[in-house]
Amino acid sequence: MSDTPQQPSVLFVCVHNAGRSQMAAAFLTHLAGDRVHVRSAGSAPAETVNAAVAEALAEVGIDISAEVPKVLTVDAVQASDVVITMGCGDTCPVFPGKRYLDWQLPDPAGQGVDAVRPIRDEIEQRVRALIDDIATAADA
C-alpha cells in the first residue's frame, strides 16, 4: 500500500481580498483542480469582489461572481503550506515552517478592466509557475 501524499494547500492574501488574491485563487482552482487546496483572504476585506476583476476573469472563462471577500484568520495561515502575500505588508501573520512568497503586483482597486487585464495575465503566469513548483516539491 502506498502513502498518498497530502494535498498541498495555498493561501493567497491581499488587503481587500477583492482583486489580486481572488484572481490568483481562481486561476489556481481553475488550473490545478482538486490537486491543490486553495484559500484566499484579506487583512481588511472589502464587501464585494472588484467588478473589473470579475469581468477580466470572465473573459478567460473563469466565473468568480459567487465569491465574497473573506477575512484573514490565523487558522487559514496555519492550515496552509504556502502563503502568498500581495501587498498586505506586515498585517500577514508569519508562522515557522510555512513557505512565504510575496508577489509584487499592481492593485486593481479603482481600475477599469483594461488596466486589470495585464495584472490578470501576470497572475496567471505566476500561478502556472507555482503549480509546476508544487508538483516538483511533491515529487521530491
Residues assigned a catalytic role = 14, 88, 92
Q: Is 57 exposed, middle or buried (0-12, 13-18, 19+ CB in 10 A)?
A: buried
What separation in angstroms does the CA of 123 have from each of 77, 83, 128? 21, 15, 9
- Asked whether 91 and 17 are in contact (CB, 8 A), the reply is no
Biggest distance spanned by C-alpha atoms of the chain? 53
